[in-house]
Chains A and B, each alone.
Chain A
């Protein structure tokens, strides 16, 4: 028994190694560039694949060859990371922070298809590390030799990183830039190269993490999103910007997973996210993190949200008129697509409600969409609830979820809040995924039929139009009501808002609840439009879809997210039958980000600003 515990403990330490490497890289990149690099998992995946190809060629049975391949793979990934920084991210540092996130989503998609194209769809088995391919016996239990190597690697890298950060000029600059990068530039340091070098180091760590994991886990096309979720958890649990914190958190998570496999094999995913939730509630800034002081330079002023003017109202009138007449002229296919677009527009609008006015970025908004969807679907399939009632229950169920999750989330802010939302979404997803008896797991729930009066596509179209229209309009009204003022005041300055008597947390919580309930409406409608529901509806990609819609449309505009949803859903539908559609989608996202750094909805505003400036300058030039 003791032997089993000891060996399991060592297994946990070994598992922590690549988690630590990935998380450390993510943390360093975020610290300096303030970019939440969603593509970090992709870099990890590339590390694994490249190491695979290199070991095939170089390492035929030699100890040297294997480790040289590992390091070369990490270096290759480092170069790819630097290239991504130079080609894409460097051009958009002046854009709103979240826009850079969007670019990294694009990179994730592109890398997925690039890997598919180069290495094919079949999972690759990693080679055994030469010289470390047998196992040792510890207290009567066997432990792979390679695990011992992994156990040594993390502290070694931690020590090297410490030297790099505290004993080199580069390290001083990186730490200074983590605090106030603008000031580092104003002291004569070229930020661009500092950022590139930080990406190089961060990507190297990710690549190394992927490469050393190869003999244990192999390489496949799903590890990018799996590892990114784990890396977020570790960074946040350890404390943003703290490498030592990431080290401790990686060990904590590694151990929890190792023992969970032993005791409750199905709970590994949930365990990790539950651990994160617990840590964050007790220590909101992570194990070794410190509260994030408001940036010395202050956050960039949000552009004012203006109530729609006459032109905008007329445009909206025209859009609604078009939507009302659409069923008279459109074919079934167009109608089906329009229904999906409207539902996802509501989903995007609800996400925008907390992100834009609320200033709370959610990485896991699909949870509420999914809760609404599963709530309605379960009522319909298990209790034979009529559609009308199920649709009304969907927002209540999603709202209840948002009430519980939101209570925790509003205690945090910024990227911590975002990652906690992701954690809750993953918990919800794992429950749905693993509770086969109730939810059907991966097989989903099927055969959900609409009430006879709404069975025709046209009637259902109008129902969706009415529901989404009313819900979206209600959210707009709230944004320009005292409630919205209070929420926006809390976003812009919590202290000042508190000082005039606004209970900012309460308002954030309310906003969270409303956004969740609205997403629930969308989820309920979605189920009845498809007739089925699958765990995918609450997975990370669905949450990311929502973020892409909002950010592409422009988080600082009200209408942007709706257009973002329409454009995204249409494009997705148009290309999803192609083999490399992710590549096209990701490339499109990256292209749009580079072309319109304020979002598609921001084009109008950019033009306006530009005209105003030109006019003022012209006035001045006159004698």
Chain B
């Protein structure tokens, strides 16, 4: 990791109404690194990612991206700085065609990030190339998931937040998704993903945070977690 991480989250605290979801949560993602936020349903994974990208307004704490404090910025500003967000539940625009979905995500290229064009994305996701004109709502779940990733990449981000990318996908598609994440990493993209699926997380990540009830309980290298049966037992086994 570089001296200063690419994404630094410190003391994040968030509420829905008066229910506190995140408690003094800190994490970081280094340049070119894949970090995973592991935790059960309702642990606060999605809220963490949403707070980082500005969809949830944190009550306290700070988010620093590329040495710029972005806490409290509106989402579109954060995204334009190169921090991409892939939501859970594939929020594709189902009435729009595949090509139109991609057009919504398009942003100017950035020097510090891999640059994407529709053609390059179609190389990465060959399935999408064959159905550019199709309405997104008529695609399979796996294809929709690929489209959400591709759509975010159209913004040429230098770091992306991936919210539960393996959720609800068939095993063969999960493997494809893992391969995709590997390919993105190899092009220099930094990634923070949230996951419940430990096997999937092990395939793709360098480092892991375990979140439970809105607090980070464990952090370290993925390889260490693989050996730490006690931690796995305590925080991850359902």
> Do the two shown chains form a genuine complex with each other?
yes
Given contacts A169-B103, A617-B60, contact A185 B91 (CB under 8 A): no
B94 interfacial contact with A, CB 8 Å: yes
* Binary CB contact string for chain B from 134 to 150 against chain A (1 if under 8 A, 0 otherwise): 00000000000000000
B75 A186 Cβ-Cβ under 8 A: yes
- In this assembly, does B39 line the interface, its C-beta being within 8 Å of a C-beta of chain A? no
Give the residues in chain A near B76, CB-CB below 8 Å.
185-191
Which positions 269-292 of chain A face chain B at CB distance < 8 Å?
none
A182-B55, A184-B104 known; A296-B91 Cβ under 8 A: yes
Given contacts A188-B80, A189-B76, A608-B18, contact A620 B13 (CB under 8 A): yes
Q: Assess whether A175 is in contact with B11, with CB atoms less than 8 Å apart.
A: no
A457 within 8 A of B: no
Q: Is A617's CB under 8 angstroms from B59's CB?
A: yes
Residues B74 and A185 in contact, CB atoms below 8 Å apart:
yes
**1/0 contact string of B84-122 vs chain A (CB within 8 Å):** 010101010111100011011101000000000000000
Contact of B100 among A172, A180, A612, A620 (CB under 8 A): A172
Interface residues of B in 5-22 (CB under 8 A from A): 11, 13, 15-18, 20
CB-defined contacts of B107 to chain A, threshold 8 Å: 188
Q: Is A411 an interface residue (CB 8 A)?
A: no
Say if the beta carbon of A305 comes within 8 Å of chain B.
no
Name which residue of chain B comes closest to A616, CB basis: B20
Quick check: A612 and B75 within 8 Å, CB to CB?
no
Are B18 and A183 interface neighbours, CB within 8 A?
no
Residue interface mask A585-623, B partner, CB < 8 A = 1: 000000000000000000000001100110011001100
- Tell me, yes or no, whether B44 is within 8 Å of chain A by CB: no
Contact B96 A186 (CB under 8 A): no
Partner of A296, one of B79, B85, B89, B152: B89
CB contacts (< 8 Å) of A319 on chain B: these are: none
State the majority secondary structure of interface residues on B: mixed
Bound form: Cα–Cα A7–B96 in Å: 41
Q: Does B103 lie within 8 Å of A297, measured CB to CB? A: no
Chain B min CB distance to A177 (Å):
9
Residues of A within 8 A of B74 (CB): 185, 190
- Chain B residues within 8 Å of A173, by CB: 104
Known contacts A172-B103, A175-B96, A176-B93; A301 and B59 CB within 8 A of each other: no
B59/A616 in contact, CB under 8 A: yes
B69 interfacial by beta-carbon distance below 8 Å: no
B191 to chain A, nearest CB (A): 17
- The 8 Å CB contact of A188, one of B16, B24, B155, is B155
Residues of A within 8 A of B45 (CB): none
Are A609 and B100 closer than 8 Å at their CB atoms?
A: no
Contact between chains at B16 and A186 (CB < 8 Å): no
Whether the pair A175, B95 counts as a contact (CB closer than 8 A) is yes
> How many angstroms from the CA of A182 to the CA of B94 in the assembled complex?
15
> Which size class do A's interface residues fall under?
20 to 34
Complex contact A620–B23 (CB within 8 A): yes
Contact across chains for B17 and A609 when beta carbons are under 8 A apart: yes
**A617: nearest residue on chain B (CB-CB)?**
B60
- Give the distance to chain A from B146, nearest Cβ to Cβ, in Å: 16
Q: Are A303 and B13 in contact (CB under 8 A)?
A: no
**Whole-angstrom CA separation of A617 from B14 in the bound complex:** 9
Q: How far is the CA of A292 from the CA of B120 in the complex (A)?
A: 35
List residues 186-216 of chain B with CB under 8 A from any CB of chain A: none
Query: Is there an interface contact between A179 and B105, defined as CB atoms closer than 8 Å?
Result: no
B103→A613 contact, CB < 8 A: no
Contact A185 B75 (CB under 8 A): yes
The answer for the CA separation of A169 and B103 in the assembled complex, in Å, is 8
- In Å, the complex CA distance between A491 and B137 comes to 27
In the bound assembly, the distance between CA atoms of A296 and B87 in angstroms comes to 11
How far, in whole Å, are A621 and B23 apart by their CA atoms in the complex? 11
CB distance from B63 to the nearest CB of A (A): 15
How far is B134's CA from A64's CA once the two chains are assembled, in angstroms? 45
- In Å, the complex CA distance between A178 and B104 comes to 13
- Mask, A379-401, CB within 8 Å of B = 1, is 00000000000000000000000
Q: Is the CB of B91 within 8 A of A613?
A: no
**Which residue from chain B places its CB closest to the CB of A169 in the assembled complex?**
B103
In the complex, are the beta carbons of A186 and B85 less than 8 A apart? yes
Q: Which residues of A contact B17 (CB under 8 A)?
A: 301, 303, 609
Q: How far is the CB of A360 from chain B (nearest CB, A)?
A: 23
Contact check, A179 vs B93: say whether CB atoms are below 8 A apart: yes
Asked whether any CB of chain A lies closer than 8 Å to the CB of B177, the reply is no
Known: A176-B100, A620-B23, A620-B24. A188 touches B93 (CB 8 A): no
Q: Which of A187, A190, A296, A616 contacts B104 (CB 8 A)?
A: A187
Name A residues whose Cβ lies closer than 8 Å to a Cβ of B: 169, 172-173, 175-176, 178-180, 182-191, 296-297, 301, 303, 608-609, 612-613, 616-617, 620-621
18 contacts between A and B (CB under 8 A): A169-B103, A175-B96, A175-B100, A176-B93, A176-B100, A176-B101, A186-B53, A187-B105, A187-B151, A188-B75, A188-B105, A189-B104, A190-B74, A609-B18, A617-B13, A617-B59, A620-B13, A621-B60
Q: Which residues of B contact A (CB under 8 A)?
A: 11, 13, 15-18, 20, 23-24, 53, 55, 59-60, 74-76, 79-80, 85, 87, 89, 91, 93-96, 100-101, 103-105, 107, 151-152, 155
